[in-house]
Structure 1
Amino acid sequence: MNHQSDQYYIDKVLDGQVNMFSVLVERYQSLVYTVVYRMLKNKEQAEEVAQDTFVKAYKALDRYRGDAKFSTWLYTIAYRKSLDALKVNKRFVSSSDIKEIGEENIELVEDALSCLQAKERKQIILDSIMKLPEDEAAIITLYYFEEKSVKEIVEIVNLTADNVKIKLYRSRKKLYSILHISRNEW
Structure 2
Amino acid sequence: MDDLDIIELFNKRDEKAILEAERKYRSYCHAISNNILRDRESVEECLNDTWLNAWNSIPPQVPDNLRMYLAKIIRNLSFNRYKSAMAVKRGGGKISAILDELEECLAGPSDVESDLIIKELGESINQFVHTLSERDCNVFVRRYFYAESIKEISVNYGITENNVMVSLSRTRKRLRKHLQKEDYKL
Is 1:75 aligned with 2:77?
Answer: no
What one-letter code is carried by the residue in structure 2 that aligns with 1:85?
Answer: R
* TM-score (norm. length: structure 2): 0.51
Alignment of 1:20-169 (within 5 A): 20-66=17-63, 68-90=64-86, 94=92, 132-133=94-95, 136=98, 158=122, 160-161=125-126, 162=128, 165=137, 168=140
Superposed displacement of residue 64, structure 1: 2.5
* Distance (whole Å) between structure 2 residues aligned to residue 169 and residue 15 of structure 1: 34
* Distance (whole Å) between structure 1 residues aligned to residue 26 and residue 96 of structure 2: 19
Deviations 1:88-129 (A, max 9, x none): 1116774xx7xxxxxxxxxxxxxxxxxxxxxxxxxxxxxxxx
Deviations 1:123-177 (A, max 9, x none): xxxxxxxxx43785xxxxxxxxxxxxxxxxxx9xx47134795972995994315
Sequence identity percentage: 14
What's the RMSD between the two structures over aligned residues?
3.9
Gaps of 5+ in 1: 98-131, 137-154, 180-186
Larger relative contact order (Cα-Cα within 8 Å, sequence gap ≥ 6)? 1
Gaps of 5+ in 2: 99-118, 130-135, 152-160, 165-186
* TM-score (norm. length: structure 1): 0.51
Superposed structure 1 runs of 4+ greater than 6 Å apart: none
